[in-house]
């Protein structure tokens, strides 16, 4: 089954793109760009940073999307899956280069995302919950395309072998397990809820009741069929921290992230409004200058016309005087 991970690199944006697109590692047909051309991606990404005046700090985000050597996968499919993985709203507007490497025993994709959004100038920032969502998408794609599952699921532990086998089959899609279903919903809602109240409400909307009381050590989840499971059971079975403390901490992080996103949107809107006002001021100034220019032209014409009339009157007077003298 495929996995996705974010890696930290100290290489320059030009260095990392040159590395992942090296013809020795990735054939040209397995190199592509989203919102940019892979051949000119370095220059395009640098230009985007300059346009939005955001050339400092992190320059890019680097992901590796790899497949098990036992997976029945071709380079073409691996590259296609990488493109599908990046095709969702979170990456909208970002310049991305994807390169599928075939020089090792296991096929893998390198994905480089520019740190600045070409459409709105927003700096790239991925939270833990968004990375978890990306991993979930990776797993879902593996299932959709029938990639080989591990025979032993490293994410499941239980002393009850019957329970283990049931959950393992459920993970592979061959069995219905209320424990796995509840764990999935709790994990998803934990990553988006902004408070305990919000968490309970969102789970209720998904058909799961939550018994979370401060004077009780454990949280109990009950699905619509009456099946119950404690958070401690989920924690032991799936190796994920479902403790009260951890979830409350996660809610705070989600709330802070939501606030920051709103603040960024407000700032962006303010900058847009400022730009509109600036353009309107320029247009108004130009209009006023044009009106002044028109007034000056009209005034000049009036002066010219006035001088012409005065000259004509003088000529008439001169002709009159001459006529009188002749007489």
The predicted model scores a pTM of: 0.50
Question: What pLDDT score does 290 carry?
Answer: 62
From CA 255, how far away is CA 135, in angstroms rounded?
22
Query: 115, 111, 124: which is closest to 50 by C-alpha?
Result: 115
What are the residues whose beta carbons fall under 8 Å from the beta carbon of 201, sequence distance 6 or more? Answer: none
Per-residue H/E/C for 97-166:
EEEEECCCCCCEEEEEEECECCCCCCECCCCHHHHHHHHHHHHHHHHHCCCCCCCCCCCCCCCCHHHHHH
- Sign of the torsion formed by the C-alpha atoms of 78, 84, 87 and 88: negative
Instruction: Mention every residue, 6+ apart, whose C-beta is less than 8 A from residue 212.
Output: 196, 200, 219, 244
How much is the pLDDT for 61?
A: 95
Condensed to tens digits (0 to 9), the pLDDT of residues 20-38 reads 999 999 999 999 999 999 9
* β-bridge pairing 209-211 and 220-222: antiparallel
- Residue 250, H or E segment: helix 244-326
Closest CA to 135 of 318, 323, 288, 4: 4
Q: Which pLDDT score, from 0 to 100, does residue 170 have?
A: 43
User: At 61, phi and psi to the nearest 5?
Assistant: -120, 135
Place of tokens 């005034």: 299
pLDDT in tens, 190-231: 989 999 999 999 999 999 999 999 888 899 999 999 999 999
- Distance between CA atoms of residues 66 and 107, nearest Å: 6
Tokens matching residue 233: 């059971």
For each of the domains in the chain, give its residue range(s) and CATH number, in order of start. Answer: 1-149 (3.30.930.30)
Handedness of CA 233, 204, 143, 135 (dihedral sign): negative
pLDDT at 163: 46
State how far Cα 220 lies from the chain centre. 35
Walk along the chain (327 residues) and give the pLDDT tens digit of each residue: 688 888 887 889 999 999 999 999 999 999 999 999 999 999 999 999 999 999 999 999 999 999 887 777 899 999 999 999 998 888 999 999 999 999 888 899 999 999 999 999 999 998 877 888 888 888 888 888 887 554 444 443 443 444 444 444 444 454 467 888 898 899 889 989 999 999 999 999 999 999 999 888 899 999 999 999 999 888 877 777 889 999 999 999 988 887 776 666 666 666 666 666 766 666 666 666 666 566 665 666 666 566 555 555 555 555 554 444 444
């Amino acid at each position: 089954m495929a996995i996705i991970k974010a890696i930290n690199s100290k290489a320059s944006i030009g260095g990392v793109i040159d590395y992942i697109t090296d013809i020795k590692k990735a054939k040209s047909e397995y190199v592509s760009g989203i919102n940019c051309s892979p051949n000119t991606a370095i220059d395009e990404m640098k230009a985007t940073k300059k346009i939005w005046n955001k050339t400092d700090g992190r320059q890019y985000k680097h992901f590796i999307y790899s497949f098990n050597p036992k997976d029945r996968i071709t380079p073409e499919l691996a590259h296609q899956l990488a493109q599908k993985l990046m095709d969702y709203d979170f990456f909208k507007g970002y310049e991305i280069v994807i390169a599928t490497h075939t020089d090792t025993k296991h096929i893998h994709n390198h994905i480089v995302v520019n740190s600045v959004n070409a459409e709105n100038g927003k700096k790239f920032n991925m939270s833990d919950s968004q990375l978890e969502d990306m991993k979930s998408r990776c797993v879902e794609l593996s299932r959709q395309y029938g990639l080989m599952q591990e025979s032993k699921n490293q994410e499941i532990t239980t002393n009850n072998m019957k329970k283990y086998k049931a959950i393992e089959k459920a993970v592979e899609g061959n069995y219905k397990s209320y424990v796995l279903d509840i764990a999935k919903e709790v994990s998803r809602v934990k990553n988006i809820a902004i408070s305990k109240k919000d968490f309970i409400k969102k789970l209720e909307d998904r058909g799961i009741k939550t018994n979370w009381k401060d004077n009780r050590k454990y949280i109990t989840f009950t699905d619509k069929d009456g099946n119950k499971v404690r958070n401690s059971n989920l924690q032991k079975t799936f190796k994920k921290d479902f403790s009260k403390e951890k979830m409350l901490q996660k809610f705070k992080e989600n709330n802070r992230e939501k606030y920051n996103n709103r603040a960024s949107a407000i700032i962006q809107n303010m900058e847009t409004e400022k730009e509109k006002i600036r353009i309107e001021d320029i247009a108004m100034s130009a209009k006023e200058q044009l009106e002044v220019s028109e007034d000056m032209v009209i005034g000049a014409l009036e002066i010219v016309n006035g001088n012409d009339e005065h000259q004509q009157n003088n000529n008439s007077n001169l002709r009159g005087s001459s006529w009188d003298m002749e007489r």
